[in-house]
Amino acid sequence: MTQTITPAPIRRSVEVKVPPARAFEIFTASASRWWLKTHSISATKSPIKDVVIEPRSGGRWFERGEDGSECEWGKVLAWEPPSRLLLAWQINADFKYDPSLTTEVEIRFTPAANGTLVALEHRLIERMGERGVGMRDAFTRGWGLLLDSYAQHAN
């Protein structure tokens, strides 16, 4: 297979009733209050206590477990309240932090009639396919091998 297909970015948006500055604040400073506690990537499997997005470009983005352990998610690429936040999602397809991998999560906060439109785009996810699960290798060796492997796992 010689063709290259680039996956479209993941795009999601929600409308909230607070103004952009407050929406930005809730998204970042209050992340611990809404971030799903089950979505931990921590190796210690400790439940998430805090999700921290440091309020500056170059800041860290990480989870802190109830046992105090910290696990990186990525970093802050652009900190532009109240309108825009750009995060580096550096978790690979094995759900491990990988500083050599950068996918981008951009969140835009736009004034809307009754509050704020929060639009999220997670892009460059094709980079995840270049490492981690080794699927790319399987593909270059041919579909047959990959399919055999799939079938074995599935049966």
Partner 1 sequence: MTYVSTALAALADPTRRAIFEQLGDGPRSVGAIARGLPISRPAVSQHLKQLKEAGLVSDHADGTRRIYRIDPAGLGALRQWLDRFWDDALAAFKAEADAETDREAEE
Burial 9-30 (b: 16+ CB within 10 A, else e): beeeeeebeeebebbbbbbbee
Stretch near partner 1 under the rule CB under 8 A, chosen from 8-16, 57-65, 66-74, 77-85: 8-16
Choose which of 106, 115, 117, 124 interacts with partner 1 (CB under 8 A).
Answer: 115
Instruction: Tell which positions 13-72 bind partner 1, by CB under 8 A.
Output: 13-18, 22-23, 26-27, 30, 33-36, 39
First-to-last CA distance in the chain? Answer: 26
Q: Which is nearer to partner 1, 70 or 94 (CB)?
A: 94
As given in the structure block, the two tokens for residue 33 are 């209050």
Q: How far is CA 94 from CA 30, 105, 134, in A?
A: 27, 18, 10
Closest Cα to residue 19, out of 113, 114, 115?
Answer: 115
Q: Judged by CB under 8 A, does residue 118 bind partner 1?
A: yes
Sign of the C-alpha dihedral, residues 122, 128, 129, 134? negative
Number of residues binding to partner 1, judged by CB under 8 A: 50
Q: Which residues bind partner 1 (CB under 8 A)?
A: 1, 3-7, 10, 12-18, 22-23, 26-27, 30, 33-36, 39, 93-95, 115, 118, 120, 122, 125-126, 128-130, 133, 135-136, 138-139, 143-144, 146-147, 150-151, 153-155
